[in-house]
């Protein structure tokens, strides 16, 4: 009577994964923050 609701796919079958939109969104935010910090320090050094 024990049935597993999340059974592993059988041989030859591929499991469809959803697109990682949340991960890509957070990565883009991180890259924009890093670029902004780099540019602010870059222009600070250029001004001296």
Cα separation, 27 vs 43, in Å, equals 24
Q: Which two tokens stand for residue 36?
A: 């902004």
pTM of the model: 0.57
Helix (H), strand (E) counts: the chain = 1, 0
- At 15 the pLDDT is 84
Cα separation, 17 vs 29, in Å, equals 23
Strand segments, DSSP code E, in the chain are none
Query: In which element (H, E) is residue 36 found?
Result: helix 21-46
- At 10 the pLDDT is 72
- For residue range 1-48, list pLDDT tens digits in order: 556 566 666 776 788 888 888 999 999 999 999 999 999 999 999 997
């Amino acid at each position: 009577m024990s049935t597993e609701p999340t059974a592993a796919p059988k041989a030859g079958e591929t499991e469809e994964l959803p697109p990682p939109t949340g991960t890509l969104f957070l990565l883009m935010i991180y890259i924009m923050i890093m670029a902004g910090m780099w540019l602010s320090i870059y222009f600070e050094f250029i001004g001296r």
